[in-house]
Structure 1
């Protein structure tokens, strides 16, 4: 399949492979609160590193979400707090799907003066924190970018890599529903399907394998729904007590249910996983740029999907400031 890729990006992807081959050891990491794009892209890189006999480690702050354990190589994801590591044995860190270096959490502790950092991302708010920054803001996912990486460098896509790339792509495109889904995205997916990927298998494992805790916490979030601006803004919350009662609950995808209300344009889910520490996930159906709003609170993301944290703000003040920012952006349209 002949997909168009510009010369600058092709050169960067070749340079990345040169750095990988020349390195003595590679750590692959990504943002806290992992999602499918994060997990799939790390595992795809891990498969390649393993195939060339490179010493490598996939290292994240948070554990692998249980609904991604169906991937054949999912046991390669290591949690930083559970892993004994000698940082000097690794001289290359590849950070995928993270707008800034702080988003990888405690894994930043592995960085030492001799280590090169590669920043492989597609977020508008990326801070270009690496020695090599491969940032493609129009890419649907890191999986799409890695497909180009494998193609440009003549690297074969094995069955495991195909699975990892497909998970990455469907996760960050909402199974091909989001604006970032382009012709190239569908062509890549078609090629992966030709290689044996079964779309329904992924839909079932990603979307249809929720725990009882997920259903109960989702129910609570829906009963807490608050509406503003003639029902065009929706807010809900999941509190620390919910996570204490259901400690293994994965809230990924929960926010989408809030946005199904026909009058809603912008919707937000605030989560308190640690006591009095609040993270907000923001979504936009239409033209409101939620990445801009998240940026006001030190966060970031994409135009229609972003996130931020409360910092030192108490919950009600955090929520009030978010609502005020959303209202302001709405008035500018």
Structure 2
């Protein structure tokens, strides 16, 4: 492991100042991702700024919604009574990810900032544009089974690994950040970015900015939601495809639809055209299949026996199943992981 400085900040202002005081600084809270990256020599920070003592661990009422402090743990959020009753989609998504031990340590802000789980990103013996810009993407033409089918570029086909973020995308959360230029709000859809020609940059955070909170809007979807996660094994595995679905129904018709996918892109993936296609339509399999077809029409796959073409049909079926579960008010069980 590379040598580094360590600074413990007592305030957000101190954290921002300490970050700016050394090249290659990184904020650290739970460290469930960053420490792994350091062990694998993927990240070599010059300074770690410990933010665990900042007063950012509360969950509070805010403008009719909830504000999740950046240091609130995944377990704290998932088991909060207000989250479970008003935003069960988020609670279920969190409980579908990681293990109980990791959820007790992982923070809300850290979850947003997870790096990809691409094989080649973690293997420093192989070229990777996310790790070393301009070196190439080993996944393109390589083993690409877990990789993206939407929003890819010639430079990167990695996926964002978070379950929590897929639900936050569907709920249209807002990220609150603080930095050298002050505070600002970032709509969740604009927080993560697609790889383009600079895949080393995962988010739209400016240098030195720190996530301080995530705001959940006042709008709730009641019982008509699900978080459906499809993976190679039933526990402690990243999604091949996941679906966060939330519906507002008017009788037997869809009034509002929210649909976000995980495991398929460099960021939680939403297709607004597919959501709009559902508005005013009967909540039937036929309507849901039409929306699913609209989503997967944009897919771009990697071929061969180690490719990810199977994800197209997997995503199509998962979308239909997720929307059916949401419409019926029978969300995917987080304890019995067999697909209902």
Which structure has more relative contact order (CA 8 Å, sep 6+)? It is 2
Q: TM-score range with shorter-chain normalisation?
A: under 0.3
TM-score normalised per structure 1? 0.23
TM-score normalised per structure 2? 0.23
